[in-house]
């Protein structure tokens, strides 16, 4: 536990206390970039999101409305070759991304007044997990993406009270947390249920910070195959390694 939080203190960036402004275009680029951040480098994904918003689907001045009424074959064509002649998505997501984008557009128009800022607006600190839950209702946005989006919005943009809300954010037991906590010996099984039960017993002061640290260690060192033991900050305390 101490080693995990020490990694957090050395590596995390500060939580925002002030809410930062999101223009509609910036919010759309954030949302598309987040959807694209699967099976490709983060930098490319977020840049591609920005590029899409700057170059497509703004003829009628309503990005999501336009996607929702555009034929899927046209969306597929734009996705396939619209990013400097390449696909916006990469690897296995090339087939699902256009469908998920259209589905997200319909949901945004129908449930969020065509404005993705409404997915995270009007949420107070005590109900901050609502942001995560809302993201997860979109097709193609799983546990990890929903968690990442919630975390960036709250920590970096001061949404839902920013720093005030971190004590209300719960641990999300995705595959990184399951794998790392199981290997560390902090969960009996590599399952979401075991993580939730065991993390509950830890009585964490800040579950969100713990979550961030374990998730990052899972991404950077504790690979499913051939974990990078020698560079891992938990090497000296990890049950699997000892
Ligand atoms: S020491 Fe190895 S098994 Fe343990 S958390 Fe680090 S990378 Fe994973």
The pLDDT profile of the chain, 242 residues, written as one tens digit per residue, is: 889 999 988 988 788 777 888 999 999 999 999 999 988 888 999 999 999 999 999 999 999 999 999 999 999 999 999 999 999 999 888 999 999 999 999 999 999 999 999 999 999 999 999 999 999 999 999 887 898 899 889 988 999 999 888 888 888 888 899 999 999 999 999 998 999 889 888 888 888 889 989 999 998 999 999 999 889 999 999 988 77
**Does any domain span residue 5?**
no
Number of folded domains that form the chain: 2
Same domain as 180, residue 126: no
- Establish whether residue 180 lines the binding site of ligand 1, counting it when its CB lies within 6 angstroms of any ligand atom: yes
Q: How far apart are the first and last CA of the chain?
A: 16
Q: Are residue 179 and residue 130 in the same domain, yes or no?
A: no
Do the domain assignments include residue 160? no
Any domain includes 73: yes
**What separation in Å is there between the alpha carbon of 3 and the centre of ligand 1?**
12
Q: What count of other Cβ atoms lies within 10 Å of the Cβ of residue 242? A: 8
Q: Is residue 17 assigned to a domain?
A: no
Whether 221 is in a domain gets the answer yes
239 contacts 183 by C-beta, under 8 angstroms: yes
* Residue having the nearest C-alpha atom to atom 7 of ligand 1: 222
Same-domain status, 55 and 103 = yes
The whole-model pTM stands at 0.82
Which mutation among 3, 7, 179, 180 tests ligand 1's pocket best, with the greatest number of atoms within 8 A of CB? 180
Residue 86, SS3 per DSSP: strand
Query: Whose CA is closest to atom 4 on ligand 1?
Result: 238
Residue 103's domain comprises 24-137
- If asked whether residues 175 and 133 sit together in one domain, one would say no
Work out the number of other CB atoms within 10 angstroms of the CB of residue 121: 14
Any ligand 1 atom below 6 A from CB of 235: yes
In contact, 107 and 100? CB cutoff 8 Å? no
Report CA 181 to chain centroid distance, whole Å. Answer: 20
Domain assignment present for 205:
yes
Do residue 109 and residue 191 come from a single domain? no
Q: How far is the CA of 159 from the centre of ligand 1 (A)?
A: 33
Structural domain includes residue 92: yes
Q: For position 33, what pLDDT does the model report?
A: 96
Is the separation of the CB atoms in 149 and 185 below 8 Å?
no
Both 126 and 185 in one domain: the answer is no
Determine, yes or no, domain membership for 13.
Answer: no
């Amino acid at each position: 536990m101490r080693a995990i939080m020490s990694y957090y203190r050395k590596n995390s960036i500060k939580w925002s206390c002030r809410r930062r402004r999101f223009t509609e275009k910036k919010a759309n680029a954030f949302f598309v970039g987040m959807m694209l951040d699967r099976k490709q480098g983060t930098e490319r994904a977020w840049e591609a999101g920005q590029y899409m918003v700057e170059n497509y689907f703004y003829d009628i001045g309503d990005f999501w409305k336009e996607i929702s009424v555009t034929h899927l074959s046209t969306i597929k064509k734009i996705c396939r070759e619209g990013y400097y002649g390449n696909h916006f998505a990469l690897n296995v997501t090339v087939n699902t991304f256009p469908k998920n984008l259209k589905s997200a557009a319909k949901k945004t128009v129908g449930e969020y007044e065509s404005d993705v800022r409404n997915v995270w607006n009007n949420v107070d600190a005590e109900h901050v997990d609502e942001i995560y839950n809302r993201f997860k209702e979109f097709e193609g946005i799983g546990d990890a993406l929903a968690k990442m989006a919630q975390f960036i919005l709250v920590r970096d943009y001061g949404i839902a009270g920013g720093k005030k809300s971190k004590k209300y954010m719960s641990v999300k037991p995705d595959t990184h947390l399951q794998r790392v906590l199981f290997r560390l010996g902090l969960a009996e099984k590599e399952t979401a249920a075991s993580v939730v039960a065991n993390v509950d017993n830890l009585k964490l002061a800040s579950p969100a910070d713990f979550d961030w640290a374990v998730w990052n260690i899972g991404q950077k060192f504790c690979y499913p195959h051939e974990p990078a033991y020698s560079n891992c900050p938990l090497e000296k305390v990890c049950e699997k390694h000892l």
